[in-house]
Structure 1
Amino acid sequence: MSLLAPAAPSDFTLIGHAQQRGDAWLPRQRVIGGQSNFYPGAIPVADVERRLFGWKGERRRIAVERPAQWNEEPSHVGVDGVPSVWDAIDSRVAITRDDSGDNTVFGVVSQKYEIHQYRDWLLRDVANLLDDSLSISSAGYLRHGALAWVEISVPANVRVARGVTFRPNLLATSSMDGTSATIFKRTVTDVVCDNTRRVALKEDGEELRVRHTKGSGFRIASAREALDLVYEARDVFAAQIEELLATPVSDAQWGEFLKVLVPEGTRTGKPDSEHRAMEKARQRAELDRLYRTDSRCGQWHGTAHGALQAVNTYEHHVLAPRQRERGARNAEWTVDGEFDRRDKRHYADLVRLLEG
C-alpha cells in the first residue's frame, strides 16, 4: 500500500445516459479530476476502469497487541505504557485497497475469504455482456470502495400507461468488507424521480448470488442471457404498473395507509411525546402532499401506484439520511437491497389494507 498515493474519495458515482434521465439526477452531478461524472450516453468501459476500479483489494495480516510476558522480549510500549508484543492471528485477514493513502481497512474476514476484484467481477465479466442492446448506465463505489456496483441497461426509456417512464437494469454489486456476496439482480429506475424500484413486488428470486469462496464463478454466460433478464424485468414491471394503476385507493384507505406508514404511539403502546407527535404529523403531511400534488406522484393519486410512488419518493428524496449525503445513502440502499425490502413491505401493507 503506497502511503504516497492520494486518498480516494469515499463515494464516487458515474452516471450514464444523462440526456434521458429526469431533472432529479442533476444534484448528483460532480466534477472529479477535471471531468464530469455525467455522460450523455453510455459510460465507456475504459472510463469505469480508469476512474473507479484502477486499484485492487489486498489481504493484510493482522495481529493482537498483548502485554509481554516475563520471559519475552517486548517489541514496543503499548498505549497504556505497558511493554507489549504483537501476536499474529493466522485465521483472519484484513482487506484493504492497494492504492489508499489513508490505510482504510474495509473489514476483517476469514482466511478463506476470496476477494472478488471489482475490475474482474463488476467490469470485465459485465463488459462481456455488452452489445448494441446493453450498455453501462451507472457505476460507482461507496465507503472508499467497501461496496461497488456496475449497472447495465437498454439504451431507451420504457413508457407505459398514464405517463409512467422507467429504465430496466441489470445491477452487478459486490463488497470487500465481508458484508455481501457478489450479486446480480434486476432493478428498475423511475426516470421522472430518480427512484430505484423493486421489479416484482409479489415474488422473490430476482437475484443471483455468488459467495466469496474459492472456485465461485460468473454464471451469466452471454449478452443474450443478460438482455433476456433485462427485458423480463421490463415486462414484469410494466404489467405490475398496469395492475397498480387499475387498483383504486379511496381517501379513507389512503388515510389508513398513512397510519400504517407512520403509526401513532411507541412500539410498547405508550403515547408519543408532544415533540414526536408533531414530527409524525409533519411526516404524514409531507407524504400526503407528495401523493396529491407533487409532479412525481400526484398525477396517479387515487391508485395503488400513486400510493406506493409517494412512499418510494419520500424515502428517496425526503427521509433524512443519517450522517450521509443523500445520493450516497440512496446508492447504498440500492446496492444492499434496503429499497427492495421497503418496497415489498409497503406493498404487502397496502394489499392487506385494501383487502380489508
Structure 2
Amino acid sequence: MSRESLQWLNQNTLIGFTDQRGHAWHYRAGEQGGEPNHYPGPIPVRDVIRRLFGWQPVEGTVESAFITEDGVTRVTDTARKAIIRPDTGAILGVFKQGYQIHDYAQWLVDNVATLLDDDLAIGSAGLLRGGAVAWVQVEVPETCTTDEGVAFRPFLLAASSLDGSLKTTYRRGATVVVCDNTLSAALNESGAWQIKIKHSSNSLGRITRAREALGIVHRVADDFAAQVRALCRVEVTDRQWDRFLTELVPVPPEQGRSRTLAERRREALTALWRHDPRVSPWRGTAYGVVAAVNTYTHHEQSVRGAHRAERNMLRAVTGEFDQLDRETLSVLDRVLDGAFTR
C-alpha cells in the first residue's frame, strides 16, 4: 500500500459535480498544483486524458545481477516482463508474458463510452499507488433524493491496475451526498452489479458484453431508492441497536488494548447513531444501522499505511464497501430474528 500524500491526491484525483456534492473532504486549495482539481460540473474527458492518462505503460525485460567468485553475473527471465511507467521510470508490476496491459485511456475512457447513455458524464477520476491503480466514475448530472430524504448519486465505476492488484472492473453503486459515502446499490443481487475482466489475450472481447451484464446506470437510481425505502421500513429500537453492537463489536472481558479499541468503536458508532446528521435522521431504522457502520468505516475508523482518501477509493474500487453493507445487514438480520430472510 502506498502512502500517497495529500498533495498527490489533490493533483492526481479529479472531482466533478461539486455544485451537487461539495468538495471532497481531502480538498486543499493550496495543493492543487496550479490547476484546480475540483469541477462545478462534469469533468471534461480531455482533462482526464491530459492530466491523468497522458502516459502509456510500456513493457520491459526482467533482469537481475548477482555476485559470484568469477564476478558479476547477469540473468534475464524471458518468461516474464515488467510493466513500466515511462514518465517516472517506476516499475509497476512484473508478470508472465501472457499478461496484457489494459491502457487506462482505452479501458477506462474509450471503452466506458460504449457503456454510457448520452446524458452521463465523468464525476471523478484518479490515480493511486503512483499510477499502478486508476479509476473513472461516471454519473447522472442531477442528484437523486429518496422519499426518506437520502440524497445520492448513482454511478458506474471503471477501474483497473498495472500492478496485478485488480482486474479491470466495471461496477454500479451509489454515493450518498451528505457523507460522501459509497453504498451498495444492489444488496440483494449476487453479481449483476459488476463485471471483472482479466488482463489476458481475449480480454478485449468481453467489453462488448459489459453493458448488457451491468444494465444502464439510470436503473441504479430505482434500485437504490427501493433499497432505502425497504430498509427504512424495518424498525430498529435502541435496545436492538445495543444487541447489534454486541454482535458486531464484542467487548473482551479482560482489560487491555483489545477491550479499549472495542469500547471506542462502540462509542463512535453510537455517537453516529444518536447525534450525527449523516446518520441520526434515520435512527431507528435498518437504513440508519447501515449508514452508521458505513460512515464509521469511511470517516472514523483508523487507517494505517495510506491516507483515508486513498483507502476509501480502493475499497470502493474493489467492492469492499458493498461487502461491508452486506455483512452489516447479516448481523442485523440475526438480531432482528430474520427480518430480511423471512
TM-score, length basis structure 1: 0.86
Structure 2: distance between partners of 1:303 and 1:12: 38
Query: Where does 1:237-276 land on structure 2 (aligned, <5 Å)?
Result: 237-265=224-252, 271-276=253-258
Residue 149 (structure 1) shift: 0.5
Bigger Rg, which one:
1
Task: Report the 3-state secondary structure (helix = DSSP H, G, I; strand = E; otherwise coil) of the residue aligned with 1:56.
Answer: coil
Alignment match, 2:293: 311
Say which of 175, 193, 196 aligns to 1:209. 196
Distance change in 2, residues 1:167/1:263 (3 Å) = same
CA contact 1:262–1:284 (8 Å) conserved in 2? yes
Alignment match, 2:284: 302
1:142 correspondence with 2:124 = no
Query: Where does 1:1-356 land on structure 2 (aligned, <5 Å)?
Result: 9=8, 12-22=12-22, 25-30=24-29, 31-68=31-68, 70=70, 83-100=71-88, 103-130=89-116, 132-205=118-191, 206-217=193-204, 219=206, 228-265=215-252, 271-355=253-337
Alignment match, 1:80: none
CA contact 2:116–2:216 (8 Å) conserved in 1? no
Deviation larger for 84-93 or 10-19? 10-19
Q: Which amino acid counterpart does residue 348 of structure 1 have in structure 2?
A: S
Residue 69 (structure 1) shift: 6.2
Structure 2: distance between partners of 1:297 and 1:176: 37
Structure 2: distance between partners of 1:99 and 1:260: 50
Task: Report the 3-state secondary structure (helix = DSSP H, G, I; strand = E; otherwise coil) of the residue aligned with 1:282.
Answer: helix
CA RMSD of aligned residues (A): 2.3
CA contact 2:171–2:214 (8 Å) conserved in 1? no
CA contact 1:131–1:223 (8 Å) conserved in 2? no
Structure 2: distance between partners of 1:254 and 1:153: 34
Structure 1: distance between partners of 2:226 and 2:116: 26
Gaps spanning 5+ residues in structure 1: where?
Answer: 1-7, 71-82, 266-270
CA contact 1:292–1:298 (8 Å) conserved in 2? yes
Residue 302 (structure 1) shift: 0.5
Gaps spanning 5+ residues in structure 2: where?
Answer: 1-6
Distance change in 2, residues 1:305/1:218 (3 Å) = farther
Distance change in 2, residues 1:227/1:344 (3 Å) = closer
Alignment match, 2:4: none
Residue 320 (structure 1) shift: 1.5
Tell me the percent identity.
43
Task: Report the 3-state secondary structure (helix = DSSP H, G, I; strand = E; otherwise coil) of the residue aligned with 1:96.
Answer: strand
Task: Report the 3-state secondary structure (helix = DSSP H, G, I; strand = E; otherwise coil) of the residue aligned with 1:174.
Answer: strand
TM-score, length basis structure 2: 0.89
Distance change in 2, residues 1:134/1:225 (3 Å) = farther
Kindly provide the CA deviation profile for residues 52-74 of structure 1, in whole angstroms up to 9, marking residues without a partner as x: 0001111121123333465xxxx
Q: Which amino acid counterpart does residue 143 of structure 1 have in structure 2?
A: R
Deviation larger for 86-95 or 168-177? 86-95
Kindly provide the CA deviation profile for residues 264-322 of structure 1, in whole angstroms up to 9, marking residues without a partner as x: 22xxxxx4433332232121111001011101000100000001101100000101111
Task: Report the 3-state secondary structure (helix = DSSP H, G, I; strand = E; otherwise coil) of the residue aligned with 1:199.
Answer: coil
CA contact 2:59–2:82 (8 Å) conserved in 1? yes
Alignment match, 1:3: none
CA contact 1:130–1:223 (8 Å) conserved in 2? no
Structure 2: distance between partners of 1:223 and 1:138: 20
Kindly provide the CA deviation profile for residues 3-31 of structure 1, in whole angstroms up to 9, marking residues without a partner as x: xxxxx9477210000000046x2433554
Task: Report the 3-state secondary structure (helix = DSSP H, G, I; strand = E; otherwise coil) of the residue aligned with 1:151.
Answer: strand
Structure 2: distance between partners of 1:224 and 1:96: 31
Kindly provide the CA deviation profile for residues 200-249 of structure 1, in whole angstroms up to 9, marking residues without a partner as x: 11222111111101131265559996995212221111111101000001
Structure 1: distance between partners of 2:205 and 2:175: 25
Alignment match, 1:268: none
Equivalenced residues, count = 329
